[in-house]
Amino acid sequence: MKRLLVVNGPNLNLLGAREPEIYGSLTLAQIEARMQEWARARDCELRCFQSNSEAAILDFIQAEAGAAQGLVLNPGALTHSSVALYDCLRALALPTVEVHLSNIHAREEFRSRSITAVAALGVVAGLGASGYIYAMEYLIDRDE
């Protein structure tokens, strides 16, 4: 049985109410429930975590990486700022797919640069909440 981590960064706890025209109307709890349902059907265990704190995210990933086979990561604004999160992903080498609800390449210019994506296997951006499912599907189905 595969075990995946699902990590959401700053302000993603506000999904549902936060700029719904950009991020959609689903809450994070609803997105995680969809993911859990999808994972259960594929005999996969998900461990979901959200924090507004960069340190808490690093601590969680460091503590859980050893017992997981992959990471679905929406770093929120840490995408564009966090060398610490990039270093963490590099150090742990946990297969990671980065997810963005919005198309970060079609917004403010500062969003088009992802520091963390350099350490990811791939990125899903702009496909809304479905992007989390696609990322999870990839991590479950990949062979290594």
Question: Binding site for substrate, residues?
Answer: 74, 80, 87, 101-102, 111
Q: Which of 23, 132, 134, 138 is catalytic?
A: 23
Q: Which of 86, 100, 132, 138 is catalytic?
A: 100
Minimum distance, C-beta of residue 29 to ligand DQA, in the bound complex (Å): 16
Binding residues: 74, 80, 87, 101-102, 111
Q: Which is nearer to ligand DQA, 90 or 110 (CB)?
A: 110
Which spans of this chain sit near ligand DQA (rule: CB under 6 A)?
11, 74, 76-77, 79, 100-102, 104, 111
Q: Is 105 a catalytic residue?
A: no
Q: Which is nearer to ligand DQA, 12 or 139 (CB)?
A: 12
Minimum distance, C-beta of residue 43 to ligand DQA, in the bound complex (Å): 28
Q: Which is nearer to ligand DQA, 50 or 102 (CB)?
A: 102
**87-95 long-range Cβ contacts below 8 angstroms, 24+ apart:** 88/58, 88/61, 88/62, 89/61, 89/116, 89/119, 89/120, 90/119, 92/61, 92/62, 92/65, 94/5, 94/61, 94/65, 94/68, 94/69, 94/70, 95/69, 95/70, 95/71, 95/121, 95/139, 95/142, 95/144
Strands (E), 1-144: 2-8, 44-50, 70-74, 96-100, 122-125
Q: Which residue in the block uniquely carries the two structure tokens 């996969």?
A: 44
Minimum distance, C-beta of residue 56 to ligand DQA, in the bound complex (Å): 16
Active site residues: 23, 100
